Amino acid sequence: MNAPTPLATDASSPLHCDAVIVGGGPAGLMAAEVLAQAGVAVHLFDAMPSVGRKFLLAGKGGLNLTHSESHAPFVSRYAGRQPQIEPLVQAFGGPEVRAWAQGLGVETFVGTSGRVFPADMKAAPLLRAWLQRLRGLGVRFHMRHRWLGWGGDGALRFAAPVGEVQVTARAVVLALGGGSWARLGSDGAWVSLLAQRGVAVAPLRPANCGFDVPRMDAPAGETRRAFLQELLGRAPEGAVGWTPHFAERFAGQPFKSVALSFTDSQGRHFSRRGEFVATATGVEGSLVYAASQLLRDEIEAHGHATFHLDLLPDHAPERVLVEVRHPRGSRSLSSHLKSRLGLDGIKAGILYEHLGKDGMNDPLALAHAIKALPITVVAARPLDEAISTAGGVAFEALDEHLMAIAAPGVFCAGEMLDWEAPTGGYLLTASLASGVRAGQGVLRFLGTGAGG
């Protein structure tokens, strides 16, 4: 992916613009498209050498553009922020995303899960076509320009290869991302800059993230010491993770065809079939990500959360008990479980991890664990490892056009807003939709007559 050609900026004299976009992710690029199509001269600034880096990373395993489900279940994925996100995706939702991609020459298809992908499953061709369109509309890119906030005269300050650059603009769209994957540009450094301007920002938290499990073989006498270390902000060494035996054998391996269920202390329930992966310290993967909001909130409230894992969701509990109790003769228990129930590998390993030898030889305990194995998690993985983030600019600090009430002319879009959603196309769709809304808001603010 070739970087957009940077525009040399003279550090000695400010650049004067009608509209500035800060951030070259999907939300920023979409805001730039809306403005440029209306004839507004757009200057886009980004700290990285090229735009769309997280977008390209997301497409490595197949770019999930949006989801094909109907409007009601689609908007329900935004949970507590549904009232704020629904108007955005009502105007630019799944069908509009597919039409937009087609307009760039990228055909899409619906996968078996209902997710929508480009026909070639790749992000790079779509991004290339998008940048070509933006250049054709006159959008000017300034790469390696890191936003530093505002100067005393209200000008935007950027750290650039030529030194500090100042830019004045009639309207600004900030699309700086959340706080995950900082090496791709989303480092959350904007939080304090907006707070200084009086814009309310909720703390950034990991979303669509993995979790750590407590060490089951940690010495009991270490509990208080570990607790005190947590209070002091130091990760207690050895306090999390599977036993060395399990981690060495199974870290990185997937749990396939399982079902995860969880009910939090407020009665909110999650239940779904799918897959996830064991890590050296806990769990991650699509099924865990889908439950991550409830798990994270429960940990924040109570210090831990316990979900239940059905290792054989296609088997009734009665059948599992019958098979476990079936005489095994001279066969080992491992051979018996494999032949009667198809349980081996990581599934058998997790049973041994939790039950030990005594529990494994108790048919009732074993059968119950196969159908409802309790997995306790005690910490979300660090923010920078998360796929996305929760928290950000509060919608209550913005008007309906996503303009900051405390900073007229400053609009916010994308993941830096205070919302979250599961993977499956919902993140990208809402980011694009917020870029559309912010772009329309700028048009209205500039008085072009083309705003929404």
332-348 pLDDT per residue, tens: 999 999 999 999 999 99
Per the CB < 8 A criterion, the answer to whether 176 and 39 are in contact is no
User: CA neighbours within 13 Å on the CB side: how many for 21?
Assistant: 36
Name the region of 350 (left: φ>0; alpha: ψ -120 to 50; beta: rest): alpha
Burial 208-225 (b: 16+ CB within 10 A, else e): bbbbbbbbeebeeeeeee
- Between the CA of residue 37 and those of 32, 158, 365, 390, 396, what are the distances in Å? 8, 26, 65, 31, 29
Partners of 377 in the β-ladder:
305
Note the pLDDT tens digit of each residue in 209-227: 999 999 866 544 444 344 4
Q: For residue 119, give both structure tokens.
A: 């026909």
Q: pTM of whole model > 0.75?
A: yes
Amino acid type, 280: A
pLDDT at 334: 94
User: What is the C-alpha separation between 121 and 124, in angstroms, rounded?
Assistant: 10
Q: What is the DSSP string of 388-452?
A: EEEEEE-GGGB-TTSBBTTSTTEEE-GGGBS----SSSHHHHHHHHHHHHHHHHHHHHHT-S---
pLDDT tens for 76-126 read 999 999 999 999 999 999 999 999 999 999 999 999 999 999 999 999 999
Residue 80 has what DSSP assignment?
G
pLDDT in tens, 156-199: 999 999 999 999 999 999 999 998 878 888 889 999 999 999 99
Please give the Cα distance from 29 to 108 (Å, whole number). Answer: 20
Cα distances (angstroms) measured from residue 139 to each of 19, 249, 284, 319: 10, 52, 39, 64
Nearest to 355 by CA among 216, 214, 212, 213: 216
Instruction: Compute the half-sphere exposure of residue 334: CA atoms within 13 Å on the CB side of its CA.
Output: 9
What's the pLDDT tens digit per position in 31-78?
Answer: 999 999 999 999 999 999 999 998 998 877 789 999 999 999 999 999
